[in-house]
Amino acid sequence: MQAATETDVIIIGAGPVGLFAVFELGLYDLKCHLIDILDRPGGQCAELYPEKPIYDIPAWPVISGQELTDRLMEQIAPFSPTFHFNRMVSALRRREDGGFEVETDEGELFHAKVVVIAAGGGSFQPKRPPIPGIEEFEGKSVFYSVRRMEEFRDHDVMIVGGGDSALDWTLNLQPVAGSMTLVHRRPQFRAADDSVNKMRALEEQGALTFQQGQVSALNGENGQLRSAIVRDGEDEREIACSRMLPFFGLTMKLGPIADWGLNLHENLIEVDTERFETSVPGIFAIGDINWYPGKLKLILSGFHEAALMTQAAKKIVSPGERVVFQYTTSSTSLQKKLGVK
């Protein structure tokens, strides 16, 4: 078992609300570690709708999901949060000192006095493609995310999909793979034009293969892939592959959170509206994953919840210390933390 990482606050979820919570908590000198099942910050905004315009963020008449993520990352940079991507929180336990022990599906341990759940509608789970028998290969030669690129070195890699994740990993893994095949049902892609252009350039150089069609069957044994059958209309061909990454989108599930003994309201976490604390003292829930009378699932509502949560979290982390409310516009101490000249 690995030694536990000590921190003030564990934030589960690195979407916009989780990121803004880092800012609010940082103003009160609370250090944060963030755990997210995705491979990057931004949550649903960055993963599913990176170019989707958002019109109700204060002071931004229009901003994309990715731009919002980028601005939040810039805003919280002075507080140096630590991110743990491609991780799911598998267990949460109360410690004898009143704090919490958080464990990930990678066996990592964290000790914190406060836990903040900012997981949107729940943890993102990859959608399983409709390929017969794919379950036999999952976790052995079929993967839904890349945790260590070295696991793909010298393998015949097949990536299936046409979005940003599929194109990004095609480009990132191509230099280490033995061979790279990208499969998509049509020649048009949903990914960024720059990524598509880079992929096409590699295809022209013979550095990778693009195959139009859909994977209809897998060949192999004992969980190890040997090849995949790709069908495009009446045409069918067998393509060698020892590793496959299907990117068919994500779905949201409450996941292990449902087993943590929190009061739930129709699969959402019930909180109060003074502190946004759950039924378990010291565990807070902010953003779309929480529920209270009058709840609105808006990003700006989550920002408000993060601010009030911080007031209560500070009292738990620093009992007996007077919590002084200050404005960033006039407080020289807050401006110093932010690096404002």
CATH value at residue 214: 3.50.50.60
The lowest-confidence range among 37-46, 170-179, 200-209, 298-307 is 37-46
Are 164 and 98 members of one domain? Answer: no
Q: Which residue carries 């990004």 as its tokens?
A: 168
pLDDT digits (tens, 9 = 90+) for 82-111: 999 988 898 999 999 999 999 998 899 999
Q: How confident is residue 266, by pLDDT bands cut at 50, 70 and 90?
A: confident
Q: What is the mean pLDDT of residues 326-332?
A: 92
> What b-and-e string marks burial along 175-188, b requiring 16 or more CB atoms within 10 Å of the CB?
eebebbbbbbeeee
The parent domain of residue 198 ranges over 128-248
Which one-letter amino acid corresponds to residue 223? G
Is pLDDT at 9 greater than 60 in this prediction? yes
Across 59-68, 306-315, 332-341, the highest mean pLDDT is recorded for: 306-315
Sheet bearing 214-221, strands edge to edge: 214-221, 224-232, 235-240
Are 105 and 193 members of one domain? Answer: no
How many angstroms separate the CA atoms of 244 and 169, rounded? 11
Is pLDDT at 124 greater than 70 in this prediction? no
Higher pLDDT, 146 or 20: 20
Q: What is the mean pLDDT of residues 184-213?
A: 95
Q: What is the mean pLDDT of residues 253-278?
A: 85
pLDDT at 120: 80
Which segments within 127-221 are labelled E, that is strand?
156-160, 179-184, 209-212, 214-221
Are 233 and 272 members of one domain? Answer: no
CB distance 61 to 37 below 8 Å: no
pLDDT at 305: 98
Tokens of 228: 């995949």
Q: How many domains does the chain have?
A: 2
pLDDT at 253: 61
Are 148 and 84 members of one domain? Answer: no
Are 117 and 259 members of one domain? Answer: yes
Domain C-terminal end among 206, 226, 248? 248
Is pLDDT at 252 greater than 70 in this prediction? no
How many angstroms separate the CA atoms of 100 and 6, rounded? 10
Domain C-terminal end among 181, 216, 248? 248
37 Ramachandran zone, left/alpha/beta (phi>0; psi -120 to 50): alpha
pLDDT at 83: 97
SS3 content of the chain, % helix, strand, coil (to 5): 30, 30, 45
How many angstroms separate the CA atoms of 180 and 209, rounded? 6
